[in-house]
Every structure is written in structure tokens, then in C-alpha cells.
Structure 1
Amino acid sequence: MSGVPMTREITFERAPDLKRVYATAMVTGRAASGPLPDVRAVRAGIRADVDNLVDYARVCGYTVGTTLPLTYPHLLAFPLQMVLMSEKAFPLALTGAVHLENVITATRPIAVDEVFDLQVWAENLRPHRRGRQVDLVSEAMVDGEIVWRDVSTYLARGTEHPDADSSEPPALDPLQDVPAGPTWRLGENVGRRYARVSGDWNPIHLHALTARPLGFPTAIAHGMYHYARVVAALGPALPESGLTSHVWFRKPVRLPSTVRLRTAFEPARTLSLLATAKGDIEHAVIEHTW
């Protein structure tokens, strides 16, 4: 009997242990060929851990209120993403994957005490000029209604495709005459501080000694950490509903480092650049629209 294949679901009652996921990936590797597996990672009945939320807010610069910070649900979806990418049938290697960009759409805020479900799947496997890229899609639902959506794009380096289409950030012309905004000194321990609240113990973020074997002269900050710092800094200027937040990660932030934020404010839009204090290296471009 033939028919449409059923999507396989992997369900979790609690967050997967990322240390175990990374350890398994580093031992076994993942470099299979073929299509993306038809599988979803699902975690139902989630309510934010208030202690973890407070710690996350402290690390990333948020003020704890009655609703979850825009980037916080990603913290809960990320382990599910990594589980999918560590699947034996997943056609890209998890070890060495590069987070290229992230798009978060908030239909409405999620209350701190609200119960929601998460589902995560992979789609849109395609060439990249430096290898192949894929989207990991995460949706948070309350009573079946999608209230928050995240598309994380990852690159696995490999055979180059010079003519492949790529997503480029918007032109930075609006920032030409914008004065410098906040400057942040990111200490050598930032990666470990963020790992404690996020569970993301990827060795490239922890210490120079663990980053060097993976090709980095120093530890580098988690992209979602400095992205969250920007969103937190812009918080009062951003609506909580009908918001799309798009970050393009450019060059890694080496630790320790000093970075500077500049933002242009327009009707229904902000455009931000996070760069070195000297402005010679761009770390991230962030656009908010509503």
C-alpha cells in the first residue's frame, strides 16, 4: 500500500542535554548525503523557568517583565535544532556548522507564566557559495496558535558554489550620519556565562584552549548572545506584536573584545550595526520591521 510518508516526531518532556549532543557529534561526525529527513522535534507544555529567565536577562541586558524577551524562546528551541542536526540521516555535519542568520517573527508576546508548545524541523537545503546551507524552523504555539516563529540558517562548509544565491543584509546608508550608541566590553568569560544560561557548551565559545583545535585563535561569543544584547538595548523602541527581527551574522566576536552599536530609527523600522569599537570589523547587521 502506497501513500504519503508520515512525518516522524521526536518528543521531549524536558530540554535535551546539549553537552551530550555535542559530544556524540564530535565522536561520530555527520556528513551524509541525501535529502533532509522528514522529522520534527516536539516539546509540549513548556513554561519558562523563572530562575533561568532572570539569569538570561541579566547576562543579555534585558529587563524582566511580564512577557518573555523576543530571543528567549530560541534558547528553548535551540536544543531541539541540535538534536535534528545530530540525526544520522541529516545530510550536513553538525560539528563546524556556522550560524549565518536568524529571523524571528513575533505575532504577539508570550507571557512569562504562559504554557506553550515548540516544534522544530529542517527545510530548504540548498547550495551556498562556501558549502551548503539549511533552515531550522521553530514555532511556538499557544492553544494551537502560532505566536512566535524562528528561522535559523546554518552553513556546513564543503564544496563551493560560487554562483549560489545568498542572503545579504540591507545597505547601511542610513547609518552614515548616526552617532555611536552603546559600547560594550565583552570579557573573556562571556561565552561561559552565556553557556550556563543557554546550555550551549559548544567548545568554540568556552575558552581559547578549546576553540583553537576547531580553528579559532580565541573563544568567540555566541551569535545569539550579542544579537540578544542588541534586541535588549533597542527594547523600548520595538513593539511586542507584529515584529520581525532579522540578524545577519558577519564576523565572529573574539573574546575579549569591545563592540559598539549604532542604530538608525525610521518609521516602522530600525537598522543596527554591531561592530568593533574602531568600526573596522562588522559583527552583525540587525533589522527590525513592523
Structure 2
Amino acid sequence: MTREITFEAAPDLKRIYATALVTGRGAAGPLPDARAVRRGVRVDVENLVDYARVCGFTVGATLPLSYPHMLAFPLQMALMSERDFPLGLTGALHLQNVISATRPIAVEETLDFTVWAENLRSHRRGQQADVVSEASVDGDVVWRGVSTYLSKGTEHPDAEPSEPPSLEPLKNVATGPMWRLGEGTGRRYARVSGDWNPIHVHALTARPLGFPTAIAHGMYSYARVVAALGTALPDAGLTSRVWFRKPVRLPSTVRLRSAFGPDRVLSVLAGVKGDIEHAVVEHTW
């Protein structure tokens, strides 16, 4: 029987991360048959404005495509911090994210969120699982996100990889917006998202976890791409998929290149010299 974990407010991510650092890795076994639920969520308009400013969105009557993920993320972390969850939260890597938008979500709408995990499977560097988040309005799902997380461990060299699409359409795209991401980028995003994961906050907190510098939040980099594409993306019937390739070390300068088709946009966020791919983003409709 599915266990429902209900939250009246957003779980405290600072507490979750602190606890995870003490308790260590996840438990052995299958994914728990549990769902994290938070109902009656209203958008904090001031937070929305701050999020838009940090990520480059224009504030309008509807939510940015990536904003519901930020509301669902604390539920994801709460679920993954449960004692019977098989992936260790500390050091978990966000590999991919897929967002499906059924229709635009008005800022004033009330949302119900449900989060669960599925599809535990091998990865060449450990184990991975999908954490699914759904946002509903009056019982109808209007937004769905699937976040794939990796917990490093026993290697499985024969595990089938999930590769991004061919970047051939970007072959002749030479220019695009360039962004300088300062050392404090992770802290700026953490203030609006609540995601104070130590690997994003400061080099001193990132080094004990294996990173020489702080790295940008993956969903921040992804949101910058979505915001830059703007009106090139439709409001409904959109599927947005990102493959996180190499972390963006802070500070860093990155460049976005995009190729546009009648029902598809393919983008790559790379180092300014083009030698390091940080994220590949595909939008289809």
C-alpha cells in the first residue's frame, strides 16, 4: 500500500542537507512505495519576481516553465532523505530533467504537488532513479517533471547510457548569448530556490564533497537557457529535456548556441571556448 507523506509547508532543505551529511548513504533495497504530497500551494509573487530576475525571465501572468520544479524540489529531497530510500542524498548528481507542460499556469492558481520515485536501475557509475513531480489544478495535471538522479557506487560498465541528441544542427551556429557567472551565482540562486546544497554555495563547502570550486545549480543553468529562448517556445504542448554534462565551475563564462526548427529547438550551453559542454537542452512540441 502506497504511503503518503503530507507536508503543510515546504520541507526545510537546509535541515535535510545537514541531516544527510550526518547519516551518510542510502539504504540497500528497492525504492519505497511512498509519495510526498503538498496541497494548496500558492505562488509567492515576491519570490517569483526574484526568481525571474536571477534566471532572466520576464515576469508575466503565467509561471516560467521551470518554476514549478523549484516548488516541487523540497518534496523531492524530503522523499530522497527517507531512511529506506536506496540512493544516498549526499553527493547525488542530477543527470537529466524532463518537463512536460500541458498548459500555461496562471500565477494566481492554486497547485497540488505529488512526488514519487520510480525506475531504479544501474548506471555505469552506480545507481540511478527517476523522481517524478506532478502539479495539478483541481485534479488535472498541468505540469510534470522527471528528474533523474545518480548515486555513485558499484560500477556497471555495461549499463545502457542515456545520450543527448546529435548536435549536428548546431554545427553552423557560431554565435549566441554569453554570460559571466560570478563566484556568488550559487548563493544568489539558493536565496530564491532554498537549495543550499553545499556544493553550490562556496568553494570551502564544495571541496569536502569532491569539487575544487562551487558549481552552479543545474536547474539554474537550465532556467537561463529556457529564459533566453523566450517566445521561441510555445505555451502549451511542450516537452523540455536537459542533459547535464559537465558542471559549471564558479566563476565561469558560458555561451549558449541554439538551432531552431518548425517543432524543435536544440541548444547547448558550453564554455566560452566551446571545449566543454555543460548542458544540452532539447525542446519539442
- Which ranges of structure 2 fall in alignment gaps of 5 or more residues? none
- Which residue matches 1:42? 37
From 194, 206, 217, the counterpart of 1:211? 206
Structure 1 runs (4+) greater than 6 angstroms displaced = none
Shift of 1:235: 1.5
- Cα deviation for residue 154 of structure 1 reads 0.2
The partner residue of 1:261 within 253, 256, 261 is 256
- Alignment counterpart, residue 19 of structure 1, candidates 11, 14, 18: 14
Amino acid at match of 1:210: T
SS at match of 1:136: strand
Q: Is the 8 A contact 1:244 1:289 kept in 2?
A: yes
Report the CA distance between 1:166 and its aligned residue: 1.7
Q: Does 1:239 align with 2:234?
A: yes
Quote how far apart the aligned CAs of 1:32 are: 1.1
Task: Give the letter aligned to residue 39 of structure 1.
Answer: A
Which residue is equivalent to 1:103?
98
- The answer as to whether partners of 1:30 and 1:86 remain within 8 angstroms in 2 is no
2:46 is the alignment partner of 1:51: yes
Equivalent of 1:147 in 142, 167, 179 = 142
1:94 pairs, out of 89, 94, 103, with 89
Secondary structure at the counterpart of residue 219 of structure 2: helix
For structure 1, list consecutive stretches of 5 or more residues without a partner in the other structure.
1-5
* Equivalent position to 2:172, from 172, 177, 182: 177
Give a deviation string over 1:65-92, Cα, whole Å, max 9, x none. 0000000000010000000110000011
Counterpart of 1:122 (choices 89, 92, 117) is: 117
Contact 1:182 1:260 in 2 (8 A): yes
Give identity over the alignment, percent: 79
Structure 1 equivalent of residue 71 of structure 2: 76
User: Could you tell me which amino acid in structure 2 is paired with residue 288 of structure 1?
Assistant: H
RMSD of aligned residue pairs (Cα, Å): 0.6
> In structure 1, what is the Cα distance between the partners aligned to 2:122 and 2:283?
27
1:113 alignment partner, SS class: coil
Residue aligning to 1:3: none
Q: How many residues align?
A: 285
| TM-score, normalised via structure 2 length | 0.99
The equivalent of 1:227 in structure 2 is 222
CA deviations over 1:231-254 (Å, ceiling 9, x no partner): 000011000100000000000000
Q: Kindly report which structure 2 residues correspond to 1:191-206, keeping only aligned pairs within 5 A, or say none.
A: 191-206=186-201
